[in-house]
Amino acid sequence: MDILKDFAERAKKRQLRVVLPEGRDERIIKAAHAIKRQGIAQPIVLGTPEQIDAAAAAANLSLDGIATINPKESEKRDPYALTYAERRTREVSQGVARRMVTKPVFYGGMMVATGDADAMVAGAATATATVIQAGALTVGFAQGITTPSSFFLMIVPEFNGKKNVPFIFADCAVNINPSPEELAEIALASAISAQKLLRSQPHVAMLSFSTKGSAAHADVDKVTAALEIARQRNPELAIDGELQADSAIVPQVAAKKVKTQSDVAGHANVLIFPDLDAGNIAYKLTQRLAHAQAIGPFLQGFAMPVSDLSRGASADDIVATTAVTLAQV
């Protein structure tokens, strides 16, 4: 079964609620309509009645059966504002908190934070930085994580004699040059994402141009330092490095290059890149040269699922992102 269909089927069985804050965009209306029609989830669309009606008219679709909320007039606005203010480490006035939660992407985050929705999917008409900020200030980060990051789910058509092989690539969209501590958190968050999505144990490779000391450079030191931090935080995790890409995923190469015992070398399904240059280049080359399916990017590191969309996302992309996001609940 196609992996996206598998995620959709998994979501259908649970009937979760996804909040879509950008109801002014006709793509969101089309996606909400498809999510409802296919039974993937219960969509909740945010916006003013005028915005949502105009978007529905542009999409030539009915809103029947789709829940809509106007954050500015919602009865939950003031309770959300109170909760939002209480959770801030710095004092926030009720007036400021009220203004924040009337912004759809922040209101959507508060819905997830308070259990009124199970996940939020945004970004079709909102900058990634704003989606990350909203997630950080409403949902907050997972325990032990302070670095928001992203991953791509890459489906390689054929690899090592197997078809449709899934990998997690991170970080390919958010952190330009992460510190060792940030790189370690990207690895830990990616392992959690893999655990939820791949239905198999994560085997995390910290990638470099060096394998186990074959080269000496400050960039290699960063990767090995990140590895040690990740191991200290999660001693049970199968994680290894520094590894070149072929040593990470090809058993025959790992056997030649890695002389120490490793549960990861040659068998990695989670690839952690040392910086955004490497991650972004790698996923695009894999997508184009190997004809791999690149699904994402997805945000990670939050206490509950908050997903970002490409500004050019189609309605079908939004539906697919919703299915994958709900698989992480």
Quick one: pLDDT band at residue 4, thresholds 50, 70, 90?
A: confident
pLDDT of residue 26: 96
Residue pLDDT, tens place only, 90-114: 788 888 999 999 999 999 999 999 9
Quick one: pLDDT band at residue 299, thresholds 50, 70, 90?
A: very high
Give dist(CA 157, CA 51) in Å, integer: 41
Same domain, 61 and 111: yes
Backbone angles phi, psi at 306, to 5 degrees: -130, 120
Cβ burial 167-179 (10 Å sphere, 16+ → b, else e): bbbbbbbbbeebe
Please count the structural domains in the chain.
2
Residue pLDDT, tens place only, 8-43: 999 999 989 999 999 999 999 999 999 999 999 999
Give dist(CA 170, CA 194) in Å, integer: 11
**Other beta carbons less than 10 A from residue 194's beta carbon:** 23
- Domain extent for 108: 3-140+304-326
Same domain, 210 and 290: yes
Same domain, 113 and 159: no
pLDDT of residue 264: 97
**Single pTM value for the model:** 0.90
The mean pLDDT of 122-151, rounded to a whole number, is 94
pLDDT of residue 86: 87
Instruction: Report whether pLDDT(291) > 70.
Output: yes
Same domain, 132 and 153: no
Residues 6+ apart with CB under 8 A from 90: none
The number of residues in the chain equals 329
Quick one: pLDDT band at residue 200, thresholds 50, 70, 90?
A: confident
Distances (CA, A) of 241 to 13, 144, 207, 213, 216: 38, 21, 7, 10, 14
Same domain, 184 and 309: no
The mean pLDDT of 124-130, rounded to a whole number, is 93
Q: Report angle CA 160, 165, 170 to the nearest 5 degrees.
A: 110
Same domain, 210 and 247: yes
**Residue located via tokens 């992460």:** 178
Work out the mean pLDDT of the chain and round it to a whole number: 94
Give dist(CA 187, CA 14) in Å, integer: 28
Residue pLDDT, tens place only, 43-94: 999 999 999 999 999 999 998 889 999 999 999 999 999 999 988 767 888 8
Same domain, 198 and 96: no
Instruction: Report whether pLDDT(304) > 60.
Output: yes
pLDDT of residue 167: 96
Same domain, 222 and 105: no
Instruction: Report whether pLDDT(177) > 90.
Output: yes
Quick one: pLDDT band at residue 169, thresholds 50, 70, 90?
A: very high
Instruction: Report whether pLDDT(295) > 90.
Output: no
Contact 182, 315 (CB under 8 A): no
The H-assigned helical ranges of 139-179 are none
Quick one: pLDDT band at residue 312, thresholds 50, 70, 90?
A: confident
The closest of 162, 178, 181 to 170, measured between CA atoms, is: 178
Same domain, 279 and 322: no
Asked if residue 25 has a cis previous peptide bond (ω within 30° of 0), the answer is no
Instruction: Report whether pLDDT(1) > 60.
Output: no
Q: What is the CATH number of the domain that holds 57?
A: 3.40.50.10950
Same domain, 136 and 88: yes
Lowest-pLDDT choice from 58-62, 83-87, 163-167, 277-281: 83-87
pLDDT of residue 93: 85
Instruction: Report whether pLDDT(327) > 70.
Output: yes
Instruction: Report whether pLDDT(311) > 90.
Output: no
pLDDT of residue 17: 97
pLDDT of residue 171: 96
Q: What is the CATH number of the domain that holds 254?
A: 3.40.50.10750
Per residue, the 3-state secondary structure of 200-250, as one string, reads: CCCEEEEECCCCCCCCCCHHHHHHHHHHHHHHHHCCCCEEEEEECHHHHHC
The residue type of 286 is T
The mean pLDDT of 314-328, rounded to a whole number, is 92
Q: Give me 33's structure tokens.
A: 């309509």
pLDDT of residue 125: 92
Same domain, 128 and 168: no
Same domain, 210 and 258: yes
pLDDT of residue 254: 95
Measured on CA atoms in the order 180, 186, 189, 193, is the torsion positive or negative?
Answer: negative
Angle, helices 180-198/218-233, rounded to nearest 10 degrees: 60
